[in-house]
Chains A and B, each alone.
Chain A
Amino acid sequence: MAFAARRLAQAVPLLLIISLLVFGLIHAAPGGPLSLYLDNPNVRPEDIARLRRAMGLDRPLGAQYVSWLVAFIRGDWGYSYADGRPVIQRMLERVPATLQLVGVSTLVAVLVSLVVGIAAALRRGADQAVSLLAVAGLSIPVFWFGLVLQLIFSNTLGWLPSSGRSSFAGGGLSDRLAHLVLPVMVLAVAHAAGWSRYLRGSIRVALAQPFANAARARGVTELRIVLRHALRLALLPFATVVLLDASIMASGAVVTESVFAWPGIGSLFTEALAKRDYTVLMAFLMCASVAVVTLSFLADVAVHALDPRTKGEH
């Protein structure tokens, strides 16, 4: 418990630094957050001045930062420039789609990397293939992979829908599943590659330990040693790596959702980017970062609670 408290005390300054970064980034624009209107001949200079006052943009930056941060913590994330609705409302309605996509992708990637990682730890031949695939998975441009899958499976073969979450008619469960396949494939492949490589490494380390030799001496098969003993050692660090990759998952979701027109937070982000809708962009970056920090906090606390070797470590 004391560990969790101390770890939480580290997360707070971290979040403050992130908020400064996000705030600074938006205000680095020449002309500030209203720069979009500066080029618009239909918006008169006095309108811009009025907006500037109304949004508090004429106050000193420090004061603006403090009031923005306080409002953000209280859930007042401002209004979207694009349609004037509260940002938090626009984001919340997109959350389920993103959770579904990211959740299913993570699950698929974890299952695939368990199978592949164990196979690679047991067999030399599989091992080299996995190393190659892992590097390939890290190197493939996500958006191009998505476009190529669309080209093959939607346009050429016509097996799967290329975009959206369901058909216009609404569609049943099978329709929704069909829409999930391609985006999940894109998002899962990149992660399964790195994760199976990692899992193979930790199983290998566990198999080199004396207890594995002892089991071999008793005549236990290699597969059984992995499943019963080595995996127990390897799973906890593996779970940590999965949680710590949340940041990369967020980047991947932005790209994947945009390519497949998946109506989640990621495509809300790219829509907002095209319209320079700064309140939405700021809220997205803050939420994604808070999620990443929270997950890594949970990972640390879980490891500390579950791994007896960290007992007494403070």
Chain B
Amino acid sequence: MVLAAAAPLIAPFTVDALDLAHRRGAPSAMHWFGTDELGRDLLTRVLFGARVSLAVGLVSAAVSVAIGVTIGATAGWAGRWLDALLMRITDAMLAVPRLPLLMIAAAVLAPNVALLIVMVGAAGWMETARVVRAEIQSIKTNDFVTAARAVGATSPRVVVRHVLPGVLPTAAVATTLAVGRGILLESALSFFGVGVQPPTASWGNMLYQAQTTMSSEPWLGIFPGAFIFLTVLCCNALGTALTDERREAVTSR
């Protein structure tokens, strides 16, 4: 992440610099990751691609957790018909395969990066909503909630001040997992040519361009994919570790 932020400073070459003398070059001392069909330095492009891919991952995670917490909290707090309606919508969204849904949406709307972020986020809130709803249902039976209502606090105030803070740890775990998923979804969409559009580099569209020349210039595909894998691995490992820790904290109580 630090590397991505510092991309303009540490990148050995300018992002779009063409070097037609060194087209399709294998990794070398000068170009560590090799060069692509236009002679652009791959390391530079991977670093700049990281900014786009990580931005999509992080912001879409924030979007999906925000939607998930809102819907989950509303359903869990309101109960009755609103709960039933919101949960049916959640079930419906979970039943539609996520990637084909997003691929169609991206093909239909031809989004820019900002809209793409919103779309990826809007496709990933369901799991969070379910967990948050369950937590709210158990929190709302606590005495401190009854006490707050007894002294005359309004519903929104009780939810925001007293109930939502209890959901924070869950939301934190959901966010780390959502970052990884967002990066994977962006890369898959771009790989199919409906995500981030060239010349903007993202790890996914670098793979899209690399796939036809995988046998002659494998480095073009291997490096961006390895970066996706390692980044998502870190997010998921963090999320899983947090989940295990919480589960142990709960069982040892």
Contact = CB atoms under 8 A, between A and B. Distances in A.
Contacts of B144: none
Given A258-B192, A292-B95, A25 B236 contact: no
Contacts of A251: 97-100
A25 B101 CA distance: 9
Interface string A120-134: 000000000001000
Interface string A166-200: 00000000000000000000000000000000000
Given A18-B92, A139-B233, 4 more contacts: A139-B180, A144-B225, A155-B214, A288-B97
Interface in A225-252: 247-248, 250-251
Interface of A: 13-14, 17-18, 21-22, 25-26, 28-29, 35, 131, 135-136, 138-144, 147-148, 150-151, 155, 247-248, 250-251, 254-255, 258-259, 269-270, 273-274, 276, 281, 284-285, 288-289, 292-293, 296
Contacts of A276: 107
Interface in B89-145: 89, 91-101, 103-105, 107-109
A147 B100 contact: no
A288 B109 contact: no
B187 A141 contact: yes
B97 A289 contact: yes
A22 B221 CA distance: 33
Contact of A155 (B98, B104, B215): B215
B232 interface: yes
Nearest to A275: B107
Nearest to A138: B236
Contacts of A28: 105, 108-109
B207 interface: yes
A147 B187 CA distance: 14
B211 interface: yes
Nearest to A152: B218
A79 B184 CA distance: 33
Interface of B: 88-89, 91-101, 103-105, 107-109, 180, 184, 187-188, 191-194, 207, 211, 214-215, 218, 221-222, 225-226, 228-229, 232-233, 235-237, 240
B108 A247 contact: no
A155 B101 CA distance: 33
Contact of A269 (B100, B215, B240): B100
Contacts, number: 131
Given A18-B92, A29-B108, A285 B218 contact: no
A13 B95 contact: no
B225 A247 contact: no
A139 B222 CA distance: 16
Q: Main SS of chain A's interface residues?
A: helix
A77 B214 CA distance: 38
Contact of B215 (A22, A142, A151, A270): A151
Nearest to A255: B188
Nearest to A162: B215
A13 B192 CA distance: 32
B207 A144 contact: yes
A285 B108 CA distance: 14
A140 B228 CA distance: 8
Given A139-B229, A273-B103, A148 B222 contact: yes
B229 A14 contact: no
B179 to A, nearest CB: 11
B105 A147 contact: no
A141 B229 CA distance: 6
Contacts of A144: 187, 207, 221, 225-226, 228-229
A139 B192 contact: no
Nearest to A252: B99
B88 A14 contact: yes
Nearest to A247: B97
A203 to B, nearest CB: 16
A147 B210 CA distance: 10
Contacts of B93: 21
A292 B97 contact: yes
A14 B222 CA distance: 41
10 contacts: A13-B88, A141-B187, A141-B191, A141-B229, A144-B226, A148-B222, A155-B215, A251-B98, A251-B99, A259-B211
B230 to A, nearest CB: 8
Contacts of B235: 139
Nearest to B107: A273
A288 B214 contact: no
Contacts of B97: 247-248, 250-251, 254, 285, 288-289, 292
Contacts of B91: 14
Nearest to B230: A139
B214 A151 contact: yes
Contact of B96 (A13, A270, A274, A288): A288
B225 A147 contact: yes
Top 6 A-B pairs, shortest CB-CB distance:
A144-B225, A251-B99, A17-B92, A250-B97, A139-B232, A139-B233
